Each structure stands twice: as C-alpha cells, then as structure tokens.
Chain A
C-alpha cells in the first residue's frame, strides 16, 4: 500500500491534430478530496476518461493504484466514474440501476442508497427516460456516493440539480467521507460552492495543469489591491500579477503572496486590500493565460462558470 492513488507522467492525448491533454504530470494522494477545475473544453473529462481506462493515452505513463487502468479488472473494480450524462438501458428504472450496482461495486451500501433516494425524493419506479434532468443527475450522485469506491470521479454530477439537492449532495459527501475516507475527484464549474470541501486543487487549462496545490495554501494566497492607478502601479511593480483591471484613474490589480508587512505597507500607502476567493483566483488565472480577455473580464468573473444550474 502506498499513499498514491494516481501517478501520471508526461501524459498526452491527441484526437487527430487536436491535443486534448498536453504532457501532463501529477499525482493524486489517497483519501483526499480533489477538485479538478477548468473551463469548458480544458480537458477535464478527457483526463478522467484516461484515468478510468476509457481512453488510450497517445503517450506518457498513467498508473492508478499502481497499474494501468486499461482493461485491468483489479484497478477498474476500485473505480467509480459518474459522468455528466450517463446513459442507461432504455427499459431501466432507478431501482434497476441500484439493484445492479452491487455487481460492480464491492463496497456498495444498500441502506445508504435508500436513504439518499429519500433525500433526493427520487421516484424509484419511474422509467429512466421519464425522469427530469435533475432526477437523472440524482441517480448518478446516489451511485457515486453509495458505491464507496476507493477512487470516485464526479464529472459535473449535478446538471439540473436544484440548490437544495446540491446542498444535500455536499452534506452527504462530507459525512460519508468522514466515516469512510476515500479518494474523490470532483470536477465542476461551481467552484464557490465546492471550494470549502476540497483538500487539493488541480486546475487544467488547454490540456495543461495550471495549478496543482493544497486548497488551504491557495486560499489567502492572493489579494486584490485597489487605489489610485499611480499608487497601485508603484506598489505592484515587480510582483507576480495575476490580473489587472481599471477605470479612469483607478486600478485594481490582483497579486500573489503578500506578507503581513507588505499588507501594512499597502494600507499605509492608502491602498485598499481585499481577499480573493478560490473561484476568483482560478477564473483570473485561467482568463489571463488566454491573453486578450481584458474587456469581458469583469463579466466573466461572476458569470462564466456558474451560468448553467
């Protein structure tokens, strides 16, 4: 037993001329909750498909629990992958999904599944085809939680789930994880909602890993400095600037890593400091790498990743 669940080195996946995953290396430690975050088309789903043996890597190495997942029964038994749009046989009803789940998942907990069905008010006997979008998502969420797989992937698991149902998902996930620790990778656009649940954050952008950091280190690692443009420019000169915004003579610049003394200096210079949430930080990091996005930046900060719900 090692502490590593996933080890990836130089992983590349190409679809024809398009490089979906571009020379990526990282490790995933056991029994932590990871956030796999990034914009649409960044490569999140492809990466999870590679990790679950549903795609073949173009090059590089990939180990899940010490071996390649591709057609490896021992590894695949330990995985659960909840997809954004899971398909089921036409004749299936939710009760059939839950009845067959124990065949695939050794740790399946029937009682827990039944409790979740009540929590989500899921009609067990309605044909899957007749379920609403949110109810369909609930089926996946229940499978993902009650399977208690040693490595569980949730890929945008809650399309159509209302705010109450999402909160139930977060609460049950935390409760059950506390009792049955396991490795969980949560891919989502709703960063603000999940950020406090995460222990580690992987941010992927254009097929590359942009951030691979402890969530607590990221929190508080950046500050936004606001004030007169000349003062702000003087203060941020030579610092790691994450993003920059301004109107007239005012400037607002987000910089990384300010110590206590530097904060005091900024306040003494008449500048305002405000904290940056994980979501703001990631949005700013991923917009700034694409270059020309200065005009819609303010809009995209709030909207880009939370539009569908």
Chain B
C-alpha cells in the first residue's frame, strides 16, 4: 500500500486518481475524508490532507463546504488525458530508444505490438 522512499502524499493522490479512472469513485460523489485516509493507511492526517489538496489544486476534486470533497465533473476524462501523456513519455519513448539501440525500426516495433496484442486476445 504505502511504500517507503516516495512521498506519501503523492501516493495518496495517485490512489485517488486510480480509483477515479477505474470508476471506483464516480464523478460528483464524495471521496473519504482526510482523517479516514489517515486512519486507513496509518499515516499522519496532515500528510493525507496534502495528497487530497493536490487534487483540489488540479481541479480533480472540489470542496463542498461542511460536507466534504467531491470528484469534479470531467475529472475522469482529464486524468485519462494526463495519464496518456505520461504513458507516452514513460513507456513509448524508452521503448523506441531501446529499439533503436538494437536496430529495430518503429515499423517493426508496431508489428511486434500487433502480434503481442493478438496473442493476448486469443488467450
């Protein structure tokens, strides 16, 4: 759950993002309170609050006074767009540079991806 060596508030923010992307938490529904996150993960409430606030700053969550934090409309779509960009940077970029090192052309890489994904759908 909480791993060492990485700021906890980043991990909390990522977990909430994942739940929104997976549809576990739907738009315009509430997310658990800071204290609930703190008790569940056994972390300092201020740290949990920092993770939640980061998503508020990004416009993913918003505060309804006296009630709690809610997922904004359109949050899921925005997260998917942001994560797609991260996917490109973190996976596709390194994939192509490793391929170039081995003399594999982008076209051959695309071919490999096609074969792999067909394998995946057959099984």
**Residues of A that sit less than 8 Å from B by CB:** 32-33, 170-171, 174-175, 177-179, 192, 195-199, 215-217, 219-220, 222-223, 274-278
Contact = CB atoms under 8 A, between A and B. Distances in A.
Given A196-B43, A216-B7, 15 more contacts: A170-B42, A171-B42, A174-B39, A174-B42, A178-B38, A178-B45, A192-B4, A196-B8, A196-B44, A197-B42, A215-B47, A220-B7, A222-B5, A275-B4, A277-B5
Contacts, number: 64
Closest 5 pairs between A and B when the two form their complex, measured CB to CB: A275-B5, A277-B4, A178-B35, A196-B43, A216-B7
Contacts of A170: 42
A227 to B, nearest CB: 18
B47 to A, nearest CB: 6
- SS class, residues of chain B in contact with chain A: helix
Secondary structure of the A contact surface, majority rule: helix
Interface residues of B, number: 20
Contacts of B43: 174, 196-197
Given A175-B39, A178-B38, A196-B8, A275 B3 contact: yes
Contacts of B46: 32, 199
Interface of B: 2-9, 34-35, 38-39, 41-47, 50
30 contacts: A32-B46, A170-B42, A171-B42, A175-B35, A175-B39, A178-B34, A178-B35, A178-B38, A178-B45, A179-B35, A195-B4, A196-B42, A196-B47, A197-B42, A197-B44, A198-B44, A199-B46, A215-B47, A216-B8, A216-B47, A219-B4, A219-B7, A223-B5, A274-B5, A275-B3, A275-B4, A275-B5, A276-B4, A276-B5, A277-B4
A216 B4 contact: no
Contacts of B42: 170-171, 174, 196-197
A216 B43 CA distance: 11
Contacts of B5: 219-220, 222-223, 274-277
B78 to A, nearest CB: 22
Contacts of B6: 219-220, 275
Nearest to B35: A178
Nearest to A217: B7
Given A216-B50, A276-B5, A177 B41 contact: no
Contacts of B38: 174, 178
